[in-house]
Chains A and B, each alone.
Chain A
Amino acid sequence: MRKVAVVGAGMTKFVRRALETGKELSWQAARMALESCELTIDDIDAVCLGTAPDSFDGVHMNGEYLSDGSGAWRKPFMRSYVGGGTGVFVPIQGWYHVASGLFDIVLVVAEEKMSSYYPHAQAAFLTIFDHTTERPLKPNLLWIFALEMNRYMQTYGITKAEIAHVAVKNKRNAADHPCALLGDPNLTVEDVLNSEVLAWPVNRLDVSPVSDGAVAVVLAVEHVATRITDKPVWIEGVGWNLDTAHWTNRDLAYPRYVEFAARMAYEMAGIKEPRREIHIVEPYDPFDYKELHHLEGLLLADRGKAPQMVVDGVTQRDGDLPVCPSGGLLGVGNPIAAAGLMKIAEIFWQLRGEAGARQVPGQPKRGLAQAWGDLMQVGTVVIMGR
């Protein structure tokens, strides 16, 4: 199989309301990614775009609309989507573009401008539910997270305070991220527990913020990557998996689809003992319990045991298994597709030793980024190594 590397990355700040249009955000990220590896758009053979539901940007066929900003003028261009999993899927899409042998250098862009849904992007989530059997109940996004979180807590006897440690860690980590929307170096578990109850067991500070932003990375095939940079970061494994849409017909306590995606990626990367072989993790953390849920699905924690890891500090930046050193979605922000690709950019910078104030000590060699989406249904996983 052709080896594929990440050779460049760029991102905009994640902000609550951007002046920039979606096209302009995409362009800024794309241009930065190209500049970071001293390429121009002429060097790019194809473009892959990730953006989640069109409702947010408020444009039908949003991929087409964003294509010029993404650098796709007169190039092969495709948009992929798997809901919230899109941000970590779109580099997989880039990977298969290159690994197939059809292209040598591919630009991968992820964009979300959630502020275009007015007054509040949350309302867009009504329409992710089944139009006939669920939507008439007027569900919202908080429902599914709250239902899943409660099931997770009940099944394993987990407390809200344990889970709140994740929000504290990530928002503190994000204080070192120059693009972050909600970094807070002084946040405490009490702050999280005392914040407004939105949908018990979910409080306001358990949740990542609605945001606008874009991220881009450049992928290249081995022989090209080694010419472009002396620090290529290899995509060693990819995995994705989609569970049934009948989400009320399965146990929400454990994300088996994340496990299936992770197993695919581990196998491709030749990883037998993920807990020893993965040095940094960026699991998807739109809500704090999700980080824990996903660490278990990724087989990096036993079922129900991830909360203890965060409480014990194992997942701190200087812990044994740094988790979301970027600050994650909880801290940096959650422009859906862009947030996932931010995690790829973070692993890229961490493995190259370029993460500045956020640098994980000990020269990590291998990292994993993961996203999740749809009706608690899809897992996307990328393993990168240097």
Chain B
Amino acid sequence: MSLLSRNPEAPRSWQGELPVFSRYTLGLAGERFFREIKDNGRIMGTHCENCDRIYVPAAVFCERCLSELDEWLDVGNSGRVYTFTILHENYEGSPLDQPEIVAFIRIRDGGLIHRLGEIELDEVRFDMPVEAVFKPKDQRAGSILDIEYFRPTP
């Protein structure tokens, strides 16, 4: 293929990075959605009248019909475990000391991805009711991490 010769002494690889530093605004919907979590400990959704769906987390548009959504509602702080997994690796791919339970918690027609707490690994069930546990108000910053985890509804 190549007429040029390989030099076995040549540097094999060149090391480098792709520096990406990001700052995200939360958007029209996110700004209000996360303010409600931060200030009031409330999970909000928006209703699409056209499709009769309630988006959680609140969205400013319906992905199905592209209508603008301006009907906001408090959807409560609980939902049901729609599906779950027991995660044994961290973000970087190394083993976790303690495996954690990650779930998609169905709330209305949407839901939230989050971890489950106050529950043993073998106790999680499909459709199990769970509720959000918020950080203390003074520690909330307006992010998904303002919810510490979801736990079984007592």
Do A21 and B23 touch across chains, with their CB atoms under 8 A apart?
Answer: no
B interface residues (Cβ-Cβ under 8 A, vs A): 14, 16, 18-31, 60-61, 63-66, 68
A30 to B19, alpha carbons, bound, how many Å?
31
Q: Which residues of B contact A136 (CB under 8 A)?
A: 16
Do B23 and A118 touch across chains, with their CB atoms under 8 A apart?
Answer: yes
A interface residues (Cβ-Cβ under 8 A, vs B): 17-21, 23-24, 27, 30-31, 34, 40-42, 55, 58, 68-69, 71, 73, 115-119, 123-124, 126-127, 131-132, 135-136
Do B65 and A117 touch across chains, with their CB atoms under 8 A apart?
Answer: no
User: Which listed residue, A42, A55, A69, A115, touches B20 by the CB 8 Å rule?
Assistant: A55
Do A21 and B66 touch across chains, with their CB atoms under 8 A apart?
Answer: no
Q: Which residues of B contact A119 (CB under 8 A)?
A: 21
Considering the complex, give the chain A residue whose CB is closest to the CB of B17. A127
A71 to B63, alpha carbons, bound, how many Å?
7
Q: Which residues of B contact A41 (CB under 8 A)?
A: 64-66
Most central of B14, B16, B26, B66 by chain A CB within 10 Å: B66
Do B25 and A18 touch across chains, with their CB atoms under 8 A apart?
Answer: yes
Q: What 19 new A-B contacts, CB under 8 Å, besides A73-B63, A116-B23?
A: A19-B31, A21-B28, A23-B27, A24-B27, A27-B66, A30-B66, A40-B66, A42-B65, A58-B24, A69-B63, A73-B64, A116-B22, A117-B20, A117-B22, A118-B21, A118-B22, A123-B21, A124-B20, A127-B18
Considering the complex, give the chain A residue whose CB is closest to the CB of B22. A58
Do B65 and A58 touch across chains, with their CB atoms under 8 A apart?
Answer: no
Do A123 and B23 touch across chains, with their CB atoms under 8 A apart?
Answer: no
CB distance from A41 to the nearest CB of B (A): 5
User: Which listed residue, A20, A31, A131, touches B14 by the CB 8 Å rule?
Assistant: A131
Q: What are 27 A-B interface contacts by the 8 Å CB criterion? A: A19-B28, A20-B27, A20-B28, A21-B24, A21-B25, A21-B28, A24-B27, A27-B61, A27-B66, A40-B65, A55-B18, A58-B20, A58-B23, A58-B24, A68-B63, A73-B63, A73-B64, A115-B23, A118-B22, A118-B23, A119-B21, A123-B21, A126-B19, A127-B18, A127-B19, A132-B14, A132-B16
Considering the complex, give the chain A residue whose CB is closest to the CB of B30. A21
A55 to B22, alpha carbons, bound, how many Å?
8
